[in-house]
């Protein structure tokens, strides 16, 4: 339950431009699509994917850390980590199970005999798009449990793209199509209130002192 009085208290500290910016951005945010990256050992690639999520309106990013430890490359992310919700998993199984329980179909972004070209992908279903590394691709478990396969059409000699490039192309294409569709893709009112509170707290210096003052702790 969101404390509306507390939210209003915090937003009164923000400038009108900041509050308006939050609302404008949230109008274009979606959880209809979500992104998952598997064991991306080069941290700048994972950070760049997160930046693409933020720029094109994907609210949630899922990071599987089964083999490699990671940290957000703040220089590449350029602040995106403040605005995108990141969930981490210690196994592929946990990530897939969690997303399936939330109603997402699992889409592996990899060439496959049953693959679908990007422009032909059905955007009507909530989908979790999984990306692997250029070197290793996605794991056997993701391929086995995927509900569908998606690829970017290419006409050159090169057979694959860097993960950050692939993610940017796919996310931009699908979110643009989504916003021009009749699909109910936007955040719920509850989601919007939660993000307004979260972003307000992240935007205010010394938030712990202000929170303590409000609640008279």
Known binding residues: 109, 152, 161
Residues 31-43 pLDDT 10s:
999 999 987 766 6
How far apart are alpha carbons 41 and 114 in whole angstroms? 28
Are 37 and 131 a contacting pair, CB within 8 Å?
A: yes
Q: Global pTM?
A: 0.90
Residues 92-112 pLDDT 10s:
999 999 999 999 999 999 877
pLDDT category, 213, cuts 50, 70, 90? Answer: confident
Are 108 and 137 a contacting pair, CB within 8 Å?
A: no
Known binding residues for S-adenosyl-L-methionine: 109, 152, 161
Q: Which of 54-58, 90-94, 175-179 has the lowest mean pLDDT?
A: 90-94
Sheet holding 148-151, edge to edge: 85-89, 60-64, 33-38, 127-131, 105-109, 148-151, 115-117
How far apart are alpha carbons 143 and 107 in whole angstroms? 9
CATH of 31-186, one of 1.10.260.40, 3.30.470.20, 3.90.1200.10, 3.40.1280.10: 3.40.1280.10
What phi-psi label fits residue 103: left (phi over 0), alpha (psi between -120 and 50 degrees) or beta? left
Residue ranges, comma separated, of all CATH 3.40.1280.10 domains in the chain are 31-186
- Token pair, residue 136, equals 């290793």
Quote the pLDDT of residue 25: 97
Quote the pLDDT of residue 78: 58
């Amino acid at each position: 339950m969101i404390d509306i009085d507390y939210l209003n208290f915090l937003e009164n500290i923000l400038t009108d431009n900041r509050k308006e910016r939050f609302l404008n951005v949230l109008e274009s945010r979606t959880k209809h699509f979500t992104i998952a990256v598997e064991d991306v050992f080069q941290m700048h690639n994972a950070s760049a994917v997160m930046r693409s999520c933020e720029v094109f309106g994907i609210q949630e990013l899922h990071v599987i850390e089964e083999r490699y430890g990671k940290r957000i490359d703040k220089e590449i992310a350029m602040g995106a980590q403040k605005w995108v919700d990141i969930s981490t998993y210690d196994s592929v199984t946990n990530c897939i199970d969690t997303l399936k329980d939330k109603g997402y179909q699992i889409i592996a972004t990899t060439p496959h005999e049953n693959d679908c070209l990007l422009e032909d992908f059905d955007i009507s279903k909530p989908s979790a798009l999984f990306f692997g590394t250029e070197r290793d691709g996605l794991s056997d478990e993701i391929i086995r449990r995927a509900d569908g396969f998606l690829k970017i059409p290419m006409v050159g000699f090169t057979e694959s793209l860097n993960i950050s490039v692939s993610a940017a192309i796919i996310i931009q294409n699908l979110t643009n199509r989504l916003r021009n569709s009749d699909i109910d893709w936007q955040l719920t009112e509850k989601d919007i209130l939660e993000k307004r509170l979260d972003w307000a707290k992240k935007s205010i210096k010394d938030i712990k002192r202000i929170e303590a003052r409000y609640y008279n702790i």
